[in-house]
Amino acid sequence: MYEQLLAAHVASLRIATPVDQLPKIDSQLSQLHTVAAKYSTLGVVVDNKELDYFRSHYVVLLCSFKEQLQHHVCVHTMEAITACWEIEQSLQSITV
């Protein structure tokens, strides 16, 4: 369940993260197995149904958030592109 939670969190982070920052996320993710191995050697076993219930609902929430954020970014990107095109057209019309 932890891996699913982390994957949902990272997926939502990637939506609004600038492209030049994505390698930092990838670098931190590459250390995941090391961290997980350290915890497994400690013998920490968490079998808590309430925690699993919380995690599963949080994964659903994060997936929903990602979809909403993705839609928001897409809409505003299109609005910005349209506004730039309109400005360009206006500038061309007054310089002709």
Average pLDDT, the chain: 86
Q: Domains in the chain: how many in total? A: 2
Domain around 20: 1-44
Mean pLDDT value across residues 15-44: 80
Closest CA to 66 of 3, 20, 7, 22: 7
Which H helix or E strand runs over 82? helix 49-95
51 and 84 in one domain? Answer: yes
68 and 84 in one domain? Answer: yes
pLDDT confidence of residue 64: 94
Is the pLDDT assigned to residue 62 strictly greater than 90? yes
2 token code pair: 């932890």
31 and 61 in one domain? Answer: no
> Is this structure's pTM higher than 0.75?
no
